[in-house]
Amino acid sequence: MADHRSQVPSYEFPETLPEQEAALAANPLLQRMNEARVALAEDRHRPAYHYVNPESTLNDPNGICFWQGRWHLFYQGYPPEDPRQHWGHAVSDDLVHWRDLPYAIYPDPERCCFSGTTLVEDDRVIAMYHGTEVGNMVAVSNDPLLLNWSKVAVRAVIPIGESGRSADPDLPYTVFDLKALREQRIRVREAQLLAGSRWKANDYVFPNTRGAPLREAHVLEALHKVLERAGLPRHSMQNLRSTYATNLVTVGVHPRVAQELLGHGRIDTTMRIYATAVPSAMREAAEDLDTIMRPASDETERSGRAS
């Protein structure tokens, strides 16, 4: 695999807000950005109202989100020493006044960090984007200013196969299943013809019968019908995910492998699931150990009686 490590300096920041602010005040990369913004301020071609990369150009905005009382803007930035797409970063309290922050996500193993989005959860923010030449990447952050990002599995979670069109054959799924997508497109076109003027042109991959987004209740109803036909009790989507995780424990999958399969950004999230299955797993481990050790114990007892 080619070496795609960025030439831009990167930094590990503290985990508390006061410490982060202190570190930013002395950060060489941010100082460079501030100096560049001042130097370019008199350029009459530079946007005066819209946000722009402080030291270069930018294109797609990505992953705009609200986290711990602040708005965060990410964008495809082009650092001067390595003009490949990195995810630039700015923060705002009011969506009007923006403050530059150091680059958030750097290329490697991907060649460039292309467009994507973010998902805000209670305890973390998840960034999902396309990494050129490798596939779809996921990175996670949970510090106050979203300065520290770690990439899940340090590789593409949905990789591009050697053909460039399909998944790695060693993975248990097809990543870019063009056949399935073409079939779904045909179904959508058929639904559009049936709906006529009632169709809402939203360009969704999986719309309802009128082109609008699927409702969660309808998806759950369809799931319950499938479970009923299979003779299984009703479950929520989350229950199915938890069952999958529990089955991984049951068959002895290593927690790190389970973390990748489940897409958890933190190993402790996976371990909380594993902990619920520990009692039965411990019993099975004790029984297995007893089976292995019993013959040796019996032999020792016979040797003791003979002496």
pLDDT tens digits, one per residue of 190-220: 998 998 989 988 778 888 888 888 888 888 8
Give pLDDT tens digits for 108-138.
Answer: 999 999 999 999 988 899 999 999 998 899 9
Q: Which of 270, 261, 263 is nearest to 140 (CA)?
A: 263
CA separation for the pair 270, 252 (Å, rounded): 14
At 2, the pLDDT band (50, 70, 90 cuts) reads: confident
How far CA 140 is from CA of 51, 88, 164, 262, in Å, comes to: 24, 15, 26, 14
Q: Report the alpha-carbon angle 101-107-109, nearest 5.
A: 145
Mean pLDDT, residues 10-19 taken together: 95
Q: CB of 30 within 8 A of CB of 102? A: yes
Tell me what pLDDT residue 171 has: 53
